[in-house]
Structure 1
C-alpha cells in the first residue's frame, strides 16, 4: 500500500514533517511507500512555492479541502496551537490518521475532545525527543536497575526565545491562541521525558510567572503577556518518589537545554538535549578511587542510530528524531506496534502541565493530576 500524506503548515515543524516523510523509508527500509500528495498554507503563493520545494503534488490554501482529498490518508498538523483541535477533529471524522504537533490544544478541554475523537485511527503527537537513542538508552538503564532504585528526578527545560525584553508581542503571548506559555510550548517535552523514565506523576506544587508583563506590539504600544515565561514545580510520582521541574523560555544563553538527572540508589544518569548524542552515567561499583562519571557516545548499539550512521560518535540531529517518528507511524499503519504518545497518552502529559498551572494560580497549593479530569 502507498500512504498519501497531507501537510498543513510549512514553518519549521512543517518542513521537519515533510523531510521526515521523505526520509523514513530511505533510512529505515521495509516501510510502506509514501506519496506527498497535498500541502496547505497561506497565502497560496507560499503554499505553491513550498510544495515545489518539498516535493508535494498539489498545493492549496484551504485546509478543509486537503482533508477532503481522497488521496490523503495521513494529515500532518504543524499549525499554531489554536488550529490543532478543529483540524484534527475534521481529519479524524473524515477517516484520516493524524500526526499533530504538541500541545494537542489551547485548553485541556480541547485535548480531551481530540483524544475522544480518535477512535481507531492512528494518532501521534510530536514528542520527538522521546526518540533520541541516548534517551531511550537511559530508559533501558533505569529499567534494568543499573542505577538501582530510582528515588529522585530533577528536570529542566530552558530556552531563550522569549528572553529579549524588546522582542515583539506574538500569538504565543495570548492565552486564547497559545494556551499555556512555556509550560505548553516546551514544558510538556520535559514532562514527556520524566514520565517515560519514572512513570505517571500524581501531584504537583508549583509557581509560575512572566518575565515581562508586556511586549511591544508591531503597530505600536504594548500588548499584555497572558501566559507564563517561567514555571517550577515539585512533583510526586505514582511510584512514591519525588522530583523537581524548572521551565523557562526566557533563559539567556540556553538554546535547547532539555535535560534531567536521574538519581538512584546505585548511581546517576545525566542527560541534556543540547548534547543530544551523549549520556553521562555514574555507578558506585569498583574501587572508590576509580569511580566517576563516564560519557556514553551514541552509536549503532543504540537502536536505531545505526540506520542513519554505522560509526559511533558521529551524532544524530533534530530532524533525524522526526524521521524516527515518521518511520514508527508508518510501521504502525502497516500493522506493527502503534507508536506513542497517541492523543490519549499526550492528554495525560498535558494534564500534568495544566495541574502545574492550576497549582501556581492557587498560590502553590498541591494539585492532584487526577483532579484535572472533567
Structure 2
C-alpha cells in the first residue's frame, strides 16, 4: 500500500487527487493507494478538500503532511516559490516526491532540490504530464524509426489567453517572486517535449516582452507587472538541430496550445495539444499524386490509450495524462523503468530557462551549461 500526502488543493492539487484516486482502477497493476494527509494554508479549506478528495486527515500546516509516518510520497502542488523548501523537507524526511513544474524560480534552489534527491535516493519526479500523451509517445517511436528522415528544423509554441485581458487584476504570477513569467510558468512544458524527443538544448537567443506594463490591484491602484508574458527564442539542440520556441500567456483565443512542428529530410510531423488526440504525418514515401498530411487519430494501439478506452477516436484529456504520469511514478518507485522527468533531468530544463533569461538580459546568444 502507498500512503499519499498532498500539499495544495488548487487546480493542480485536484488534478493530483484525481490521479491518485483513479490510477489503480485504470491500470490495475499498482498497489492499493491510501490517501492519508492533505495540507492547505487554511485549515477550513484543508478539511473541506480532504472530504472532497478522499483524504483521511487535513492540516493547516504543510509540515504535518511531511511528518506523518503513514505518508510515503508527497504531492506538491503549491505556487512555484514554495517548491524548494517543501520538496527538500519531504526528501530529507525519507519521502518520495511528485512536484509540479517548474522546480523553483531561482536556479540555485532548483540545484538544491536536485542535490537533495540525489543524496537520499528517493524518487523525485516533476509534473510534466504532456510527455505522457499517446500521440507524443507515438511521435517518439516514429522519430526513433527515422520515419521522416534526418531532422533539420523544429518549431514549438505554447499559447494561452488567461492573461490576455488588460483589465484582469494583478496576481501572484505577475510578481517577480514567481519567476520570469511565461518562460518558467509554462515554456517548461514545450521544453519537456523537446527533452523527451530530442535531448538537451545547447544554445539560445531570447527576447521577452510585457503586453501590459501594469495591472490593477485589489485596492484599485496600479502595480507594475514584474514578469514577462511572452517570449521568443532561437535555439540549437545538442544534436545539431536548429529550432524556435515561442510562448505567450496573453494570446486571445488560445486555450491550451502546444504546437510542435518537426521537419525532416523525408517528411514532417505536426502536433497541437488543443487537438491532443491526433497528429499529422507527411511522408515523401507516398506517391506524388497522394502526398499530403495524413491525420492520425489515437486509438487503443497507441499505448496507454487502451487502458482508458477500448474504442479508437474517443480521446483522452488533461487529467488522463496525469493518471498516466502517476502510474509511471509508481512504476519508478517500484524499481521499474519509467517515462518521467525526475529532478536530475528537470534541472536541465531549468538550466535552459535560466540561460534564456540570461540571453534576454545580456542581449546575446548564451550557451546552456
TM-score interval, normalised by the smaller of the two chains = over 0.9
Q: CA contact under 8 A between 1:153 and 1:194: conserved in structure 2?
A: no
Query: Could you tell me which residue of structure 1 aligns to residue 288 of structure 2?
Result: 288
Matched, 1:156 2:143: no
Matched, 1:26 2:25: yes
What does 1:143-292 align with in structure 2 at a 5 Å threshold? 143-176=144-177, 178-292=178-292
Query: Could you tell me which residue of structure 1 aligns to residue 346 of structure 2?
Result: 346
Query: Could you tell me which residue of structure 2 aligns to residue 70 of structure 1?
Result: 69
Cα separation, 2, equivalents of 1:312 and 1:5: 33
Cα deviation for residue 42 of structure 1 reads 2.6
TM-score between the two structures when normalised by the length of structure 1: 0.97
SS at match of 1:117: helix
Structure 1, residues 106-137: CA drift from partner, whole Å, max 9, x if none?
11111111000003100110000000000111
Cα separation, 1, equivalents of 2:109 and 2:335: 29
Q: Which runs of 5+ in 1 are unaligned?
A: none
Cα separation, 2, equivalents of 1:353 and 1:6: 29
Cα separation, 2, equivalents of 1:16 and 1:37: 17
Cα separation, 1, equivalents of 2:324 and 2:76: 17
Aligned residue pairs, count: 367
Cα separation, 2, equivalents of 1:322 and 1:76: 12
Cα separation, 2, equivalents of 1:220 and 1:310: 53
Moved over 3 A (4+): none
Q: CA contact under 8 A between 1:31 and 1:334: conserved in structure 2?
A: no
What does 1:46-61 align with in structure 2 at a 5 Å threshold? 46-61=45-60
Query: Could you tell me which residue of structure 2 aligns to residue 331 of structure 1?
Result: 331
SS at match of 2:280: strand
Query: Could you tell me which residue of structure 2 aligns to residue 298 of structure 1?
Result: 298
Q: CA contact under 8 A between 1:92 and 1:117: conserved in structure 2?
A: yes
Cα deviation for residue 339 of structure 1 reads 4.4
Cα deviation for residue 338 of structure 1 reads 4.4
Structure 1, residues 38-66: CA drift from partner, whole Å, max 9, x if none?
00113111111111111000011110111
Q: CA contact under 8 A between 2:325 and 2:340: conserved in structure 1?
A: no
Cα deviation for residue 279 of structure 1 reads 0.7
Query: Could you tell me which residue of structure 1 aligns to residue 10 of structure 2?
Result: 11
Structure 1, residues 276-311: CA drift from partner, whole Å, max 9, x if none?
000100001132111010000001111000000010
Query: Could you tell me which residue of structure 2 aligns to residue 114 of structure 1?
Result: 113
Q: Which moved more, 1:192-201 or 1:238-247?
A: 192-201
Quote the RMSD (CA, aligned, Å). 0.9
Query: Could you tell me which residue of structure 2 aligns to residue 99 of structure 1?
Result: 98
TM-score between the two structures when normalised by the length of structure 2: 0.98
Cα separation, 2, equivalents of 1:337 and 1:34: 20
